[in-house]
């Protein structure tokens, strides 16, 4: 039977030191292994914290199925639900604006026409401006919205029917007036005068043939006319001016040109 050496002997002391070194080595190895693991894990954890990319685990497919089956009360309605709402109900409830009523102005009465004529006689004492003459084929505007034209100019033999009239070679023409305004105009008091020749000699008005006076009034959008005959010698027809006086309160318009001469 072998004898166990005592701990105080050199042999016992060497074995104790060997066990100590083995224990220390194992502890160091464990520390190195733990340090390596910590070094590998710690940077990723720090990066995740710094960038805020740490996320909670995604719900499982069973949790998603349960959520879809139960429905979400606070969810936003789909576009189909929005489309089902009556979009035109709000518009239909607003009443449409009513179209403005149009009132057609009544023509002038005899009393109104007489009053206007009286006023015009008073204003006749005031000198009226005369506009620059236009060609016989052109249109003139005595006031805005009213247009005057001369047409159907022809040579005729004038007939004396009234006091102071003299028969002889004459010129007949038609003067038309268009009412472009919104109210009737008084055309029963228009005045037409004519002069001729280089000295602008006034021409004598005659009663015929075919003289037609303007109507008492002209409605909006309508055209009225009057036909006149003036005694003008052939020698004076190369330069003739026709003056149209619509109202004593308006500018007198003038037409100028040569008129046809009598034959024979």
Q: What is the 3-state secondary structure (H, E, C) of 206-246?
A: ECECCCECCCCEECCCCEEEEEEEEECCHHHCCCEEEEEEC
Q: What is the mean pLDDT of residues 40-69?
A: 45
Provide the pLDDT for residue 58: 47
Judging by DSSP bridges, how do beta strands 253-257 and 134-135 pair with one another? parallel
pLDDT by residue (tens digit) across 185-206?
Answer: 999 889 999 999 999 999 999 9
pLDDT by residue (tens digit) across 67-109?
Answer: 444 444 444 444 444 444 444 444 444 555 454 443 344 556 7
Query: Given pLDDT bands bounded at 50, 70 and 90, which one contains residue 154?
Result: very high
Longest dimension (CA), the chain: 190
Please, are residues 254 and 242 in contact by the beta-carbon 8 Å criterion? Answer: yes
Query: Given pLDDT bands bounded at 50, 70 and 90, which one contains residue 163?
Result: confident
DSSP lists the bridge partners of residue 212 as 227
The domain limits of the chain are 17-47, 128-257
Whole-prediction pTM value? 0.54
Place of tokens 């016992």: 12
Portion of the chain with pLDDT greater than 70, in percent: 54
In CATH terms, the fold of domain 128-257 is Immunoglobulin-like (2.60.40)
């Amino acid at each position: 039977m072998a004898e166990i050496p005592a701990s105080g002997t050199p042999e016992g002391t060497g074995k104790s030191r060997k066990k100590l070194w083995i224990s220390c080595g194992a502890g160091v190895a464990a520390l190195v292994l733990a340090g390596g693991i910590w070094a590998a894990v710690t940077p990723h954890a720090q990066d995740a914290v710094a960038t805020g990319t740490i996320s909670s685990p995604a719900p499982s497919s069973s949790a998603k199925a349960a959520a879809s089956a139960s429905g979400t009360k606070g969810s936003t309605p789909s576009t189909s639900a929005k489309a089902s709402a009556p979009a035109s109900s709000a518009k239909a409830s607003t009443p449409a604006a009513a179209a403005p009523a149009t009132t057609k102005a009544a023509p002038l009465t005899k009393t109104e026409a007489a009053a206007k004529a009286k006023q015009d006689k008073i204003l006749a004492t005031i000198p009226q401006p005369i506009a620059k003459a236009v060609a016989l084929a052109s249109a003139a505007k005595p006031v805005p919205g009213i247009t005057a034209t001369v047409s159907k100019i022809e040579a005729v033999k004038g007939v004396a029917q009234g006091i102071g009239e003299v028969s002889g070679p004459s010129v007949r023409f038609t003067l038309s007036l268009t009412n472009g305004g919104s109210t009737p105009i008084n055309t029963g008091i228009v005045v037409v005068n004519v002069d001729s020749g280089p000295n602008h000699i006034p021409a004598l008005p005659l009663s015929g043939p075919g003289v037609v006076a303007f109507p008492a009034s002209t409605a909006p959008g309508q055209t009225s006319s009057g036909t006149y005959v003036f005694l003008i010698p052939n020698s004076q027809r190369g330069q003739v001016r026709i003056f149209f006086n619509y109202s004593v309160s308006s500018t007198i318009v003038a037409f100028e040109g040569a008129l046809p001469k009598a034959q024979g």
